């Protein structure tokens, strides 16, 4: 193969992989020559060959561009979702598909990013960059930025929960908080009580840490059954209990104060550590925020995990754990794994919370989520009501949709993908393949006319599918 053909081959395969996108300009002849070591003549011949094959088009005095008609690999690999193999592979597929900007991402786990206060956050980032000093990195080692921990403690105090800034550790999102919490209260082989259905992150963390799960059902109407929790604690030597008291993901249920208190007492009685995942706490639709179970725990064996990901910004990756007696152990564990959370980002959040109007943003966010969830609920119960039950909740932005047991929502998931819609099938949230007739729908996205059309097409496909089974 001549040298110019070798180069043309390399470039063609780069284009196929999506390294160069349709319409994008390739490096000039001179630059390509210096990048690759081929002579100018060889590069010119390679470009001309690709032009003759329709891969490149020459633009007068502006070099060569990738032809618009060239097919490149999708950057997220959306359509290659495998039949469910394991929770991990499947979660990865669903999350990747939901990141594609061309998708109507009803399977997405975060609220519509358009609802985050982007301009205010940018201002805070700029302010933080100006304040960063050479010693900032050391000032913010675990447990994390002092002011940020204080601001979080103050927000809890306003809700009626007394948490000292000293027991708070700043983490990379709630997921790191939850994962560190599990690590410090368990060792491989231990039993952990989780909900069923549960947030898939809980099952993944258990799998990664070699822990065993005992699950207790949570229903959209009644939540968790305390007698079932007690039976589980009697039957297995459970070390920790990971659950959500507010707007449980995926079913949306929030516990009553009575249940929170009774759970706190049960866990104390059986000496079980509480790992409370409270990421949706700020997203109540009306009234006041509810107190976490931690409020009712009389001992220090409770770890309350949360983040700004759902209420302010997901990409900053800032969360925390109010770790009670485990705070020191969490800090040590964090030092051994990630050392600390990004310093300028912690400082930007301090600036945001101190100088921008977080309460006003939360007010607007709650109101937008309430309206959008209502619109989605009305659409789904109006169009799907005859064959599915749509469960509504008093906060957050998820709807849990339940078909009759013979329906396989994985089939509907694939139909939806073909229409560029993602959904979160029920089996993502199950340990043993239950809930394969359910979906979680992200209702934070605006129902534009184009999206309504897509939903109508999906509805027709679902009806057709249900007629066949
Ligand atoms: C219930 C629940 N917990 C934790 C997380 C992770 O939160 P973060 O993005 O702050 O790590 C998510 C995100 O989807 C979630 O839904």
Question: What is 362-423 written as a DSSP string?
Answer: HHHHHHHHHHHHHHHHHHHHHHHTTTEEEE--SBSSEEEEEE-TT--HHHHHHHHHHTTEE-
> What CA–CA distance (Å, rounded) separates 217 from 441?
20
> Which two structure tokens, joined as six digits, stand for 222?
């009644």
In the numeric block, the tokens 């609920």 are attached to: 377
pLDDT tens string 304-341: 999 999 999 999 999 999 999 999 999 999 998 888 88
CB of 312 within 8 A of CB of 113?
no
- List the structure tokens of 123: 């201002």
Task: State the pLDDT confidence band at 73, using cuts at 50, 70 and 90.
Answer: low
Helices (H), 27-166: 29-36, 40-52, 87-99, 118-131, 136-139, 146-159
The mean pLDDT value for 245-251 works out to 97
Q: Is the dihedral of CA 83, 86, 87, 91 positive or negative?
A: negative
- 238-243 vs 223-224, strand pairing mode: unpaired
Interval between CA 33 and ligand 1 midpoint (Å): 47
- Ligand 1 site, residue 181, Cβ cutoff 6 A: no
> Is any atom of ligand 1 closer than 6 Å to the C-beta of 175?
yes
pLDDT in tens, 362-403: 999 999 999 999 999 999 999 999 999 999 999 999 999 999
Domains of the chain: 3-66 (1.10.10.10), 78-115+360-468 (3.90.1150.10), 134-356 (3.40.640.10)
423, 107 in Cβ contact below 8 A? yes
β-strands 302-307, 238-243: how paired? unpaired
From 309, 396, 442, the mutation candidate for ligand 1 (largest count of ligand atoms within 8 A of CB) is 309
The confidence score (pLDDT) of residue 85 equals: 32
Q: Residue 242: helix, strand or coil by DSSP? A: strand
Question: Would the CB of 144 count as within 6 Å of ligand 1?
Answer: no
Q: What are phi and psi of 359, to 5 degrees?
A: -60, -40
pLDDT per position as a tens digit, 6-56: 999 999 988 887 888 888 899 999 999 988 899 999 999 999 999 999 999
Higher-confidence residue of 461 and 61: namely 461
**CA 276 – ligand 1 centroid, Å:** 12
Ligand 1 center–CA 319 separation, angstroms: 9
Residue 332 CB contacts under 8 Å (≥ 6 apart), including other chains: none
Our answer on whether the CB atom of 279 is closer than 6 Å to any ligand 1 atom is yes
């Amino acid at each position: 193969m001549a040298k110019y053909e070798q180069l043309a081959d390399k470039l063609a395969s780069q284009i196929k992989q999506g390294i160069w996108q349709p319409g994008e300009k390739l490096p000039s002849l001179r630059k390509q020559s210096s990048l690759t070591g081929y002579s100018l003549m060889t590069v010119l011949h390679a470009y001309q060959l690709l032009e003759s094959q329709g891969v490149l088009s020459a633009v007068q005095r502006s070099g060569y561009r990738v032809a618009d008609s060239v097919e490149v690999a999708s950057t997220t690999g959306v359509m290659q979702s495998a039949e469910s193999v394991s929770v991990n592979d499947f979660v990865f597929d669903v999350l990747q598909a939901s990141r594609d900007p061309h998708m109507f991402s009803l399977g997405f786990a975060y609220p519509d990013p358009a609802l985050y206060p982007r301009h205010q956050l940018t201002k805070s980032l700029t302010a933080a960059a100006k304040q960063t000093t050479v010693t900032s990195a050391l000032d913010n080692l675990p447990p994390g930025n002092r002011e940020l921990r204080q601001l979080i403690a103050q927000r809890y105090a306003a809700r009626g929960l007394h948490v000292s800034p000293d027991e708070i550790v700043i983490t990379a999102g709630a997921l790191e908080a939850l994962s560190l919490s599990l690590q410090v209260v368990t060792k491989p082989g231990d039993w952990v009580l989780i909900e069923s259905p549960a947030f898939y992150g809980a099952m993944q963390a258990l799998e990664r840490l070699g822990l065993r799960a005992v699950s207790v059902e949570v229903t959209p109407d009644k939540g968790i059954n305390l007698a079932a929790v007690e039976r589980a604690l009697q039957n297995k030597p459970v070390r920790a209990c990971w659950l959500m008291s507010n707007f449980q993901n995926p079913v949306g249920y929030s516990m009553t104060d009575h249940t929170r208190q009774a759970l706190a007492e049960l866990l104390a009685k059986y000496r079980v550590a509480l790992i409370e995942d409270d990421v949706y706490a700020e997203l109540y639709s009306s009234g006041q925020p509810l107190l976490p179970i931690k409020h009712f725990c009389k001992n220090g064996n409770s770890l309350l995990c949360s983040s700004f990901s759902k209420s302010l910004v997901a990409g900053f990756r800032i969360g925390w754990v109010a770790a009670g007696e485990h705070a020191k152990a969490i800090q040590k564990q964090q030092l051994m794994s990630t050392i600390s959370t990004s310093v300028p980002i912690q400082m930007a959040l301090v600036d945001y919370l101190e100088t921008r109007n977080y309460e006003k943003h939360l007010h607007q966010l709650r109101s937008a989520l309430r309206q959008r969830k209502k619109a989605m609920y009305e659409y789904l119960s109006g169009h799907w009501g005859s064959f599915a039950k749509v469960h509504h909740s008093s906060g957050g932005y998820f709807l849990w949709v339940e078909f009759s047991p013979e329906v396989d929502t994985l089939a509907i998931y694939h139909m939806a993908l073909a229409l560029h819609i993602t959904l979160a099938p029920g089996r993502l949230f199950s340990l043993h393949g239950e809930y394969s007739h359910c979906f979680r729908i992200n209702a934070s996205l605006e129902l534009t006319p184009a999206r309504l059309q897509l939903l109508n097409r999906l509805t027709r496909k679902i009806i057709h599918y249900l007629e066949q089974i």
